[in-house]
Amino acid sequence: MAHPTVDAHTHVFCWGENPAEGYLSTKTRESWLTWLLLKTTDIQNEPGDTLSAKMRHRLIRQLNDSRLDYAVVLAQDAVYRPSGSRDDAATHFYVSNDYVLQLARDCPKVWPGCSINPIRRDAIAELERCQTAGCRLIKIHTAIQGVDPARREFDAFYRRAAELDVVLMFHTGYEHSCTVISQSFTDPGRLARALDHGGKIVAAHCGTCAFFDPENYYTNFVRMMELHDNLYGDTAIMASIIRWRSLWRLAEERPHVRARILHGSDYPFPPHRLPYVFRIGVFPPERHNAFDLDLRIKESFQFSPGYTNQIISLLSGG
């Protein structure tokens, strides 16, 4: 395979039939966005005995049918108390690391992206465990997990990730899909401490916010890209209607910024065709597969030759 095509940012959800694997809180289950996502993905018609099995089946089916060679599927760690103990009552979206590690064993196109809240007492031990199990990228959800990346206490965690060549992916930009602890933690300007340890850092969503948010961290993302060669950005969720201008803005950045932009969809959150009809047509053949449609939209912007495969060199320590 000369140039494999990789989606560096996708999700699987667990409804909570087996909470050890993952769950959505009652509040998340009852949110209008969850309802909308279940409807638009036609999840009830998917094979499977449980809602979690149906969501898992849809992910694997669409991934296998897509043009993609691989996709990083992300876990989602819990919220932790300042003492480092897990706070299940405050956790609204959880997917265990073992669930995505097993998914990767079961599906050759899946690469595991474990998730570790660095506040947890055993964060470094869990980092080492995931790395030994074959994981090369760890997701930290700043807003949902309540993680301010600028905290000094995380130095040891950042140092160990850099030593192990494990990529750290931070959520950046306002979060809208789940209960948030602080939006201010999503400012890419807060990533300097993690970057200073020298490991590869991905700012998921490039710091973009929705058009109705009170601020936009995108300019801070570009500023940080100018300052740090080990910073990357991904395009996850940027083809959604509420961020519709963001791909155009990103495509106008200077080449050395565009060169470190990675393809990510944020599957199962669907791309929106409407803003892109003049680029991809009204009925693009990819419209039946969310992975392919998102890729088609983003490839119509020419970010860089490595857009869909540079993640491979990051994950192999290059």
Q: Residues interacting with Zn ion, by CB under 5 A?
A: 266
What minimum distance in Å lies between the beta carbon of 237 and Zn ion?
6
Q: How far is the CB of 199 from Zn ion (least distance, A)?
A: 20
Residue with smaller CB distance to Zn ion, 231 or 238: 238
Pairing mode, strands 261-262 and 137-140: unpaired
User: Nearer Cβ to Zn ion, position 266 or 292?
Assistant: 266
CB of 243 to Zn ion, least distance (A): 12
Least spacing, CB of residue 121 vs Zn ion, in Å: 26
**Cβ 138 to Zn ion, closest distance in Å?**
14
Tell me which amino acid residue 303 is: F
Helix (H) or strand (E) holding 88: none
Q: Cβ–Cβ contacts within 10 Å for residue 56, how many?
A: 22
Closest to Zn ion by CB, 139 or 160: 139
212 by Cβ neighbours in 10 Å (0-12 / 13-18 / 19+) ranks as: exposed
Q: Where are the alpha helices (DSSP H) in 7-136?
A: 26-29, 32-40, 51-65, 97-106, 123-132
The span from the CA of 58 to the CA of 61, in Å, is 5
Nearer residue to Zn ion within complex by CB, 126 or 266: 266
Residue nearest to Zn ion (CB): 266
What is d(CA 46, CA 201) in angstroms, rounded to the nearest whole number? Answer: 36
DSSP single-letter state for residue 62: H
